[in-house]
Structure 1
Amino acid sequence: MTRYRRTVIVATLLMLGGCASAPSGTGAAPAVPAPGPAGSATPAPADAAGAFNEADVMFLQMMVTHHGQGLELVRLVESRARRTEVKTLAAAIEVTQDAEQETMRDWLRGWGRATSADPNAHAHADHGGLPATGPEQIAALARTSGTEFETAFLNLLIAHQHNAVEMARVETGAGVHPESLDLARRIDLSRTAQINQMLAMLPSAR
């Protein structure tokens, strides 16, 4: 990654991380990956201290899996998309979700729990089901490029981030671990913001 691109990504995170407002539904706010404390793109330091319950564990396990799927998506962008704005958004999402994923894994390890979701779909019924962006969809996206890729990518990532918002809202209603609740709130705000940003990108991607 070039020095210029790193600078653009950091600027995007700081500028957009500070303008996300509380959503009224899934998909209503400005846009960008979840900011950490003081506008940083990095989540709060991994700390397993404090009470937690099974809702916290399931949220983190499912979100780790969900983040992995999202990272697969955004890593296709650099070599396939045309527009700089799509590439910049994807790079910023990669930075944020990579850091969030490692933080969540650290919490789960601290609790002596598995760091990925149970593949049994029935185990996640109370949390809305397993993340839904499958390998077939990612493989199909990887076979496209240019405008076709951008349109398919944006539509797929909008749906993917909608799932993240839904999982985060289940956690804020059922979890008790303070750091996990804070992360869930930030995911709700930032992914809702990303959805709006990507919706605004779609008309010119067609």
Structure 2
Amino acid sequence: MARYRRTLLAPLVLLLLAGCGGAPTSTGGTPAVPGPDAAGSTAPAPVPASAAAPGSFNPADVMFLQMMVTHHGQGLELVRLAESRAQRAEVRTLAAAIDVTQTEEQETMRGWLRNWGQSTEADPDAHAHADHGGLPATGPEQIAALGRASGAEFESAFLNLLIAHQHNAVEMARNETRFGQDPGARALAGRIDQSRTAQINQMLAMLG
């Protein structure tokens, strides 16, 4: 992501999340996930966990979903600031589309984890993911700093921060595609890779 501007981008905070160890390969399930929408984001319809089809999962699937649930929560904090504070309609529209998409994805992922008998929350232990290099995440200090910005400064800071945030999602999704086993989780990861890459390109154009 060397192309995008870093003037107002706060340094990423390494947040180490859990879910990588101790989850045995078991029987669980995942529903199919629809493709990307017109805004370049995925929008899987929420599916009750009880409706999940049988399938197998491994620790990488559990780690991916637990980390992505937390990552989505951080992204939702960002876009909900922009929905009311961004100046340009195109920025507000993108933020609203991401809000809908990531809310639904988060509900779906939590449903899968519950169906597998796994925790839907990441372990707060800062060392739990050391073996996996940690998770670059958007920290509360960065979100708070964004909340204090206004006008054109807010838009520029928001776009830079969200570009970095979605880039992290792409990296996590590609790890799941490489190491995961559950077909539904891998399919979701592929759609996250495509949609977040499209969003990044859209935001780079907005930054000019």
TM-score with structure 1 length normalisation?
0.78
Counting aligned pairs with the same residue, the percent is 74
Between Structure 1 and Structure 2, the one with more helix by share is 1
Match of 1:164 among 169, 178, 183: 169
SS in 2 for 1:51: strand
Residue matched to 1:105: 110
Q: CA RMSD, aligned part only? A: 1.7
1:60 paired to 2:94:
no
Quick check: 1:127–1:167 contact (8 Å CA) kept in 2? no
With over 3 angstroms needed to count, the CA separation of the structure-2 counterparts of 1:186 and 1:14, relative to structure 1, is closer
Between Structure 1 and Structure 2, the one with more strand by share is 2
Q: Where does the alignment leave 5 or more consecutive residues of structure 1 unmatched?
A: 1-12, 17-31, 37-41
Displacement of 1:127 after TM fit?
Answer: 4.3
Residue matched to 1:33: 41
The residue identity in structure 2 corresponding to 1:121 is A
With over 3 angstroms needed to count, the CA separation of the structure-2 counterparts of 1:94 and 1:87, relative to structure 1, is same
Counterpart Cα distance in 1 of 2:147 and 2:119: 30
Deviations 1:53-111 (A, max 9, x none): 00000000000000000000000012211100000000000000000000000001111
TM-score with structure 2 length normalisation?
0.77
Quick check: 2:48–2:111 contact (8 Å CA) kept in 1? no
SS in 1 for 2:56: coil
Residue matched to 2:85: 80
Match of 1:91 among 79, 89, 96: 96
Residue matched to 2:120: 115
Counterpart Cα distance in 1 of 2:192 and 2:131: 19
1:142 paired to 2:147:
yes
With over 3 angstroms needed to count, the CA separation of the structure-2 counterparts of 1:14 and 1:190, relative to structure 1, is closer
Deviations 1:38-63 (A, max 9, x none): xxxx3666526310000000000000
Q: Where does the alignment leave 5 or more consecutive residues of structure 2 unmatched?
A: 1-35
With over 3 angstroms needed to count, the CA separation of the structure-2 counterparts of 1:197 and 1:58, relative to structure 1, is same
Residue matched to 1:188: 193
Counterpart Cα distance in 1 of 2:89 and 2:183: 37
Counterpart Cα distance in 2 of 1:141 and 1:191: 21
The residue identity in structure 2 corresponding to 1:163 is N
Counterpart Cα distance in 2 of 1:126 and 1:169: 17
Quick check: 2:67–2:122 contact (8 Å CA) kept in 1? yes
Quick check: 2:74–2:138 contact (8 Å CA) kept in 1? yes
Match of 1:174 among 164, 175, 179: 179
